[in-house]
Amino acid sequence: MSIASQATDRVIIFDTTLRDGEQSPGATLNVEEKLAIAHQLKLLGVDVIEAGFAIASPGDFQAVKTIAEQVGTPDGPIICSLARAIRQDIQAAAEALKPAAHPRIHTMISTSDIHLQYQLKKTRSEVLAIAQEMVTYAKSFVDDVEFSPMDASRTEPEFLYQVLEGAIAAGATTINIPDTVGYCTPKDIGILIQGIRENVPNIDRVILSIHTQNDLGLATANALAAIENGVRQVECTINGIGERAGNAALEEIVMALQVRKHYFNSYFGRPVNADAPLTNIKTQEIYKTSSLVSQLTGMLIQPNKAIVGANAFAHESGIHQDGIIKHRQTYEIMEAASIGLPENRIVLGKHSGRNAFRTRLKELGFELSDADLNKAFNRFKEVADKKKEISDWDLEVIVRDETQNQVESGFQLEHIQVVCGDCTCPTATITVVTPDGKILTDASVGTGPVDAVYQAMNRLVQIPNQLIEFSVQSVTGGIDALGTVTIRLAHQDKIFSGQASDTDIVVAAAYAHLNALNRLYRYLQTQRIPAQVRV
Ligand code: KIV
């Protein structure tokens, strides 16, 4: 069944974590990291993965191509690349998407007067012609073409209707309406969508989509308002990351449609009590996807974030705890298990063997290769020597640290020693192995132990950078908890993040810093890739 014929009775989830999400400052991901997220998005059940903006850089092109090859299988999601309404962009997108079983080109051009006058420096009639011409051009490569009039919500409605009619006549299959600057209220969105449905004569030939930015904190509310008014595709990101204040959060939209299904059913022409889900998302994969995206982008989730924040299922007040003990639904509208949140059962300790370790990981949804399992098991044994009880949360962090944070090229930390105290000058001695195999040692003093580590490491790695953010979170409670350190560092106008966990937060800080430095190192390497990977 084509997605168009399925679309009237459910919402198509278009995930743009790897494109708009990656536009969050400091969220830069390398190809392997994007691929890991894309595999997880497939498990989550998204319908469309916007894998990147193929023309933007050789790395983006490669990421779209690799995801198209490895995730865009016949049973997999649609793989999409963004392209401005420019021939070279569309060619690059088409080339990168070639391996995908279900490719989509998403082409866009601004339509608001303010963008036309100050940014594009084009007239309305020029934009009208370009939109049609470029949709036709994209259609010459793929059947599935999405068109976005950028800044649609601030575009003069009559002109917007004309552009959309032209794009549909030229062959667009999805029309996406971006609230690019996050200016609308839910009521505005309703009026905008109704206006389009009433005034664009061929609108019924396409799937209508919405893209809401979160500048006023209204992105999810606006996306839901659009659904109530007939939109059947929502563009969203995991944890709501994205340009500026981010996008509508996938987990919020999906759980709103799930928890309030009986409310939304009528907008889909279903009986109020119909039980079939309104999206194809496997909600039990939400928590895992959210943690993975947070870890790889280095963008921490605020504790009170809806659905996936650490406090989303925590009950602090005595009255609430009393209610929860008596009957969960007194203060909970959904179960933690429905998003796949581990229950934090204490299962393993230092006497647990490889088999128990492997089995528990499998139960938690981690299928590791033998090599990764070995690495994770060795690390588990090290942690279990220091920490008596290893929870599911600890296990998850160990597996992520050992499998997803590892880089195949870059610097490796060999040894770290720190001296600190109230009557001594904090000093760190660090040994690293360089990418070409040299073993280097240096020492530095600092204002504190973490600063000393950073100074020593910077002297060894010799890549100019500035530390702009440092945070520590404990994975579980207790004095022996694993601490997760997240750092961000800046190099020229780019930001790189790193994350690592250990029972010793100074050691975690060292690994986190090295992870970020390795990302920076690898970025500098890709800058040297010859332009032939571009089309
Ligand atoms: O915010 C925006 O307008 C976009 C479009 C490309 C959909 O990201």
CATH classification of the domain holding 464:
3.30.160.270
* Residue 306 included in any domain: no
- Report whether residue 232 contacts ligand 1, using a CB cutoff of 6 Å: no
- Report whether residue 108 contacts ligand 1, using a CB cutoff of 6 Å: yes
- Report whether residue 211 contacts ligand 1, using a CB cutoff of 6 Å: yes
Q: Residues 229, 352: one domain? A: no
| Residue 51 exposed, middle or buried by CB count within 10 Å (0-12, 13-18, 19+) | buried
Among 19, 148, 233, 237, which is best to mutate for testing ligand 1, by the most ligand atoms less than 8 A from CB? 148
Among 89, 211, 215, which is best to mutate for testing ligand 1, by the most ligand atoms less than 8 A from CB? 211
Q: Residues 370, 447: one domain? A: no
Domain boundary among 276, 297, 318: 297
Atom number in ligand 1 closest to CA 82? 6
CA angle 330, 334, 336 (to 5 degrees): 110
CATH number for the domain that contains residue 163: 3.20.20.70
Dist CA 362 CA 266 (whole Å): 39
Q: Residues 121, 251: one domain? A: yes
Q: Residues 48, 184: one domain? A: yes
Q: Residues 105, 50: one domain? A: yes
Q: Residues 386, 252: one domain? A: no
pLDDT confidence of residue 6: 43
Q: Residues 363, 394: one domain? A: yes
- Report whether residue 178 contacts ligand 1, using a CB cutoff of 6 Å: yes
Q: Residues 233, 253: one domain? A: yes
Domain boundary among 405, 429, 455: 405
Dist CA 150 CA 144 (whole Å): 19
* Residue 333 included in any domain: no
How far is it between the farthest Cα atoms of the chain?
78
* Residue 305 included in any domain: no
- Report whether residue 250 contacts ligand 1, using a CB cutoff of 6 Å: no
Dist CA 495 CA 26 (whole Å): 4
**Residue 414: which of 432, 438, 402 has the closest Cα?**
432
pLDDT confidence of residue 303: 86
| Residue 499 exposed, middle or buried by CB count within 10 Å (0-12, 13-18, 19+) | buried
Domain boundary among 297, 313, 333: 297
Spacing of C-alpha 96 from chain mean position: 20
Q: Residues 219, 159: one domain? A: yes
- Count other C-beta atoms under 10 Å from residue 275's C-beta: 9
Q: Are 198 and 236 in contact (CB under 8 A)?
A: no
User: What's the distance, Cα to Cα, between the start and end of the chain in Å?
Assistant: 33
State residue 189 phi and psi, 5-degree precision: -60, -40
- Report whether residue 154 contacts ligand 1, using a CB cutoff of 6 Å: no
- Report whether residue 534 contacts ligand 1, using a CB cutoff of 6 Å: no
- Report whether residue 150 contacts ligand 1, using a CB cutoff of 6 Å: yes
Which residue has the CA at smallest separation from atom 2 of ligand 1? 180
Q: Which residues of the chain have pLDDT under 50?
A: 1-6, 529-535
* Residue 337 included in any domain: no
- Report whether residue 180 contacts ligand 1, using a CB cutoff of 6 Å: yes
Which distant-in-sequence residues (6+ apart) come within 8 Å of 261 by Cβ? 274, 275, 277, 278
Q: Residues 180, 106: one domain? A: yes
Structural domain including 414 reads 409-526
Q: Residues 388, 476: one domain? A: no
* Residue 317 included in any domain: no
**Residue 145: which of 180, 190, 102 has the closest Cα?**
102
Looking at the 3D structure of the chain, how many domains does it have? 3
* Residue 375 included in any domain: yes
Dist CA 166 CA 130 (whole Å): 10
* Residue 186 included in any domain: yes
- Cα 235 to middle of ligand 1, angstroms: 9
Q: Residues 149, 280: one domain? A: yes
What is the signed CA dihedral for 502, 507, 513, 517, rounded to 10 degrees? -100
**Residue 232: which of 283, 189, 203, 268 has the closest Cα?**
268
pLDDT confidence of residue 5: 42
Among 111, 150, 154, 184, which is best to mutate for testing ligand 1, by the most ligand atoms less than 8 A from CB? 150
* Residue 319 included in any domain: no
